[in-house]
Amino acid sequence: MKSRIIHKITTIKKVVSNNLINNGLYAKGKANKFVIVMYHGVDRKQKTDFNERFFSVDNFEKQIAGFKKHSNLLTYDDFLNERYSSEKTNVLITFDDGYANNVNYALPVLDKYNAHALFFVTGVGTLNKKILWADAMDIVTRHADKKSSVTLNDAKFHFNGMKFVCEELQMELAAYVQASKKTGYVEKENLVTQLLKIYDFTKDKENDDYWQLMTDDQIRNASMSKNITIGSHGFYHNNLGSLSNSDALHEVDLSKKYLENIIQKEVNSIGFPDGSYTEQLNDSLNTAGFKKQFLVDFRYNDNSKRKYTHDRYGLYPSTGNNHRILYKILNQ
């Protein structure tokens, strides 16, 4: 009997929630609560052929307009100093990877609504191959055939129609690269070079939004907006949790010096590539002056251990329509 009552209550809640969503109405968030959202990119058409991380500029604007109306949008300084609203859900916006589309499409929307965001940027734009390996893999996967293959460290990855897989290691290419303990970008640049031989997407301007990174000038110009704070995303976009602590610290230090030289401001925040970190790295970075560290899911049951580490809620087209996204965020 009790289980039936609980089931009916749950069903009623779902019906009410769906009605609120469909009518653009949202339940009031808890006092002093904050939610950190994570975007990656904004494109013109919300094309999900290559990845499912980018919203169209129209949908992105609808979301920002919704946040502005129904939540309290925080600046990074607000967040640092815990200046939260007691009447609305507090929302902090972040972007990972440092795509040029953040400046081309997202920044004008953020400025229009006076909405603040942190842009977490890599140093890959300074290298010979100014391409994140994962973007190269995503795009080329759409054009590869079953004759396609790449080789890393004598491990050969064949395309099976969906993914590059090494049968000997029983491992997908993405997992292999993410677990790599190699520092620098030589290994990844080698991979990008091989992928471009399968399909050179850089020759098609229609692909630009899905791989081009911010230039130094774009980073500098973005930092001049009162609505943007620049943070580190590592220098090489390595999975920092896979590296030794000293190697990970060295990479973040490279990133910090690179970004501070460009923007002439302190860089004291980091968004971990792929959400990969260790607790030792958290403590070391805190000692090094990184006041806020942004994760993607707590990995060591550490959600209450450190006040300077924060989980984020990733936003993707697959999350749902704009009303549903906003409802979910305000009711996290």
Tell me: the pLDDT tens digits for 251-293? Answer: 999 999 999 999 999 999 999 999 999 999 999 999 999 999 9
3-class secondary-structure state, position 100: helix
Beta bridge partner(s), residue 151:
156
More reliable by pLDDT, 184 or 25: 184
| Token output for 69 | 């109306």
Q: Which value, to the nearest 10 degrees, does the dihedral of the CA atoms of residues 281, 283, 288, 294 take?
A: 70
Burial 62-100, CB ≥16 within 10 A → b, else e: bbbbbbeebbbbbbbebbeeeebbeebbbbbbbbbbbbb
User: Over 90: is that where the pLDDT of 15 sits?
Assistant: no
User: Over 90: is that where the pLDDT of 117 sits?
Assistant: yes
Return d(Cα 66, Cα 118) in angstroms, integer: 19
pLDDT value at residue 328: 84
What pLDDT, in 10s, does the model give residues 127-172? 999 999 999 999 999 999 999 999 999 999 999 999 999 999 999 9
245 C-beta neighbours (distance < 10 Å), count: 15
Q: What is the average per-residue pLDDT within 216-235?
A: 98
Burial 289-308, CB ≥16 within 10 A → b, else e: ebebbbbbebeeeeeeeeeb
Per-residue confidence band for 235, with pLDDT thresholds at 50, 70 and 90: very high
Per-residue confidence band for 21, with pLDDT thresholds at 50, 70 and 90: low
What pLDDT, in 10s, does the model give residues 38-70? 999 999 999 998 889 999 999 999 999 999 999
Q: What is the average per-residue pLDDT within 206-213?
A: 96
Share of the chain above pLDDT 70, in %: 93
3-class secondary-structure state, position 143: coil
3-class secondary-structure state, position 294: strand
Of 117, 17, 24, nearest to 326 by C-alpha is 24
User: Over 90: is that where the pLDDT of 20 sits?
Assistant: no
Share of the chain above pLDDT 90, in %: 82
User: Over 70: is that where the pLDDT of 125 sits?
Assistant: yes
Q: Which residue has the tokens 């958290």?
A: 282
pLDDT value at residue 24: 67
- The answer to whether the beta carbons of residues 293 and 269 sit under 8 Å apart is yes
pLDDT value at residue 83: 94
Domain ranges of the chain: 29-126+212-330, 133-203
Q: What is the average per-residue pLDDT within 16-21?
A: 68
Of 125, 102, 41, 124, nearest to 228 by C-alpha is 102
CATH topology of domain 29-126+212-330: TIM Barrel (3.20.20)
| Token output for 244 | 């030794």
73 to 104, 268, 324: CA distances (angstroms): 21, 20, 18
- The answer to whether the beta carbons of residues 291 and 80 sit under 8 Å apart is yes
Of 326, 325, 323, 257, nearest to 24 by C-alpha is 323
| Token output for 230 | 């620049």
162 to 177, 196, 235, 305: CA distances (angstroms): 17, 17, 30, 40
pLDDT value at residue 49: 87
Phi, psi angle pair for 33, to nearest 5°: -75, 145
Per-residue confidence band for 3, with pLDDT thresholds at 50, 70 and 90: low
| Token output for 49 | 């052929």
